[in-house]
Amino acid sequence: MALTFYWYPQCGTCKKAKNWLDNHNVEYEPVHIVEHPPSKEEIKSLISQSGLPVKKFFNTSGKKYRELGLKEKLADANEDEMAKWLASDGMLLKRPIVTDGHRVTVGFKEDTFENTWK
Strands in 3-7's sheet, in edge-to-edge order, are: 28-32, 3-7, 97-99, 104-106
pLDDT per position as a tens digit, 18-29: 999 999 999 999
For the chain, the domains span 3-117
pTM of the entire predicted model:
0.95
Helix (H) or strand (E) holding 79: helix 79-88
7, 95 in Cβ contact below 8 A? yes
Residue 47: per-residue pLDDT? 97
Pairing of the two strands 28-32 and 3-7 = parallel
- pLDDT 10s digits, 89-108: 999 999 999 999 999 999 99
- Stronger pLDDT, 39 or 1, i.e. the higher one: 39
Query: What tens digit of pLDDT does each residue of 33-53 get?
Result: 999 999 999 999 999 999 999
CATH 3.40.190.10 applies to domain 3-117: no
